[in-house]
Structure 1
Amino acid sequence: MNKIVKRLLIGIACVAVVLVGGFYAMFHNELATLQSMKKVDDYALYTMEYKGDYGFDDFLATGASTDAELIQFVSTKLLKGIPVEFSIPNLGCSTFNAATPDGAKIFGRNFDLTYSPALFVKTQPDNGYASFSTVNLGFLGYNEEKLPDGLLSSIITLAAPYAPLDGINEKGLAIGVLLIPTEATNQQTDKIDITTTTAVRMVLDKAATVDEAVALLKQYDMHSSANSSYHFQIADANGKSVVVEYVDNEISVVEMDGNWQAATNFLLTPGDYDFGKGQDRYATLEKTLTENKGILSEAEGMNLLKAVSQPLHLNDDNEMTGTQWSIIYNQSELSATISIGMKYDTPYTYNLNK
């Protein structure tokens, strides 16, 4: 009898080893990704390095015309069927590009919204450029009561590569997306469809220059998220910048006039529009950048973001609202300096090469 029990236990142990080995073989990249996550600020700010392939080339081959289609793709491709929430509420932001006194190119961005934990993620696809990008985890269903502080609770963050709002890649190309409060963009041609955040991912993964980024965007039909419209400021390490907008479902590329460019939440394409906001923030950006001839140190760039930030306050729904993060990307040094929750005295700096 003891021999039978012993053999049975050995058999169970062998099966368990095979199952564990098979599970590890299937999910080792996902586990390594989740284990790389660190909470660096209690507001909260997390960092993560995405290991392995997140299937973006497969996405670009099929595309998505709605957030629901994107969710289906991400759930099947990355989360093995686990459902994921994906929603982009109204957001008010500011971006600009400039140069430092020593000639380095910088790109600044404020992200303004209700309270949302942030994830700063590094990706390095086999068929694309390495990049940093910032993700609002609120878009993936996280909040003050639900944070990715454990292995199981962080699984949904595997969808992060599909939800970037700004970033920089190894070629020094930077991008930020900003809301335009008007009718959603819904292009209808025979091109493959793409959504707001996947456009950001495509530019970071595939474009080295502004010209390449614009050419890529023109190859796809844009379908904007959250029943609204957006524009993108894109700047490269050579100092060129454009703002890409969609007006009446037609792409419009606004070139920089001088050695700097800025954007907030209204269209820059010439025309008579009765929507949009952020003109006061834009005026502050314009005044400072003009007076300094587009030359700012990183510290001065962060001070400019502070000047156009939205103070943290409780809105009518008792939600903490204001600037959630301010970030300066140094496109020459491939670094990023982040101030989370308006704590400008205690920023965090990361370098893509380290």
Structure 2
Amino acid sequence: MWLQQQWYKARLHPLLYLLTPLSLLFWLMTNLRRSFYFSGLVPRYKASVPVIVVGNISVGGTGKTPMVVALCKWLKEEGWQPGIISRGYGAKGPFPHSVSETDKPGKVGDEPLLMRHRTGCPVIIAPKRAKAAELMTEQHPEVNVIICDDGLQHYALKRDIELIMLDAERGTGNGWLLPAGPLREGPWRLKGADWVISNYGRHAFAQHVVDVEPGSWFRVDNNEKIELNVDDKFNAVAGIGFPQRFFNSLVDQGIELHDRQAFSDHHVFSEENFSQLTDKPILMTEKDAGKCQPFAQPNWYYQTIEAKLPEVMKTNLLAELERKKNAH
């Protein structure tokens, strides 16, 4: 957590200078790897249907999952049949695996299960996205567009459209690659890109701005929709890429927080994590709720979030997708 906080400060912390040689090595290795794929030295898999990659150049917390959910819902309204592929961070395998409604987060990962529940689309997970895309077309011939959750740097899978997500508040941080900074690729990756999309405000590199709004409240233990009594005091927990955003959102909604606890992204929750928070109702994200459901108390609640796609983005993206479909 300390390291991530330093990544998003204007000046490089003195201790991070010790990591800069590793960042230079990371730059060298990633550029060599990318050149191998684009020069044809390493083969790339091309799916039989258009592939849209929703990714980022930084580590976590840029709104990829809400974008995938919104994208799938909108495409279904437009008559498309999307399927989702994902790495399945924390999943146990074997891979590739088709996610079902009865799977547990510990088996398939928290985000794939969330996307399966929210969209009703088929979801297949595999660290090798090409294998997931291949199985998708085999098992689901009705799917005519594949949405790849994350995987911007997974060049083994050819893509037709790249949606590069940016957090307008945090941007590219200190501008350094991992581990001295938060970047998987340099800011150069954004220049000339056709689809750079920022959340929570406009970024200089972004062509489109997506609003992410808080949604409805549900009980963690049984997914029952409820009306939250904002006059109460609550404790809040978050194990996401940028926990402070969730806490800020609650305060912006007029919710008074007694205590708050931040965990690392994809944290595997246990009952012990909540032993000091039993005095007040607990609020959490939808992503975290799936992992807490087996031991959740009746006064634990989670909130959905909704990404709102701007109309001009929808129009342009639909036209681009039709062109890519015809090219296949």
When normalised by structure 2's length, the TM-score is 0.28
User: Where is the helix percentage greater, Structure 1 or Structure 2?
Assistant: 2
Q: Which has the higher strand share?
A: 1
Structure with the greater alpha carbon radius of gyration? 1
What's the TM-score, normalizing by structure 1? 0.26
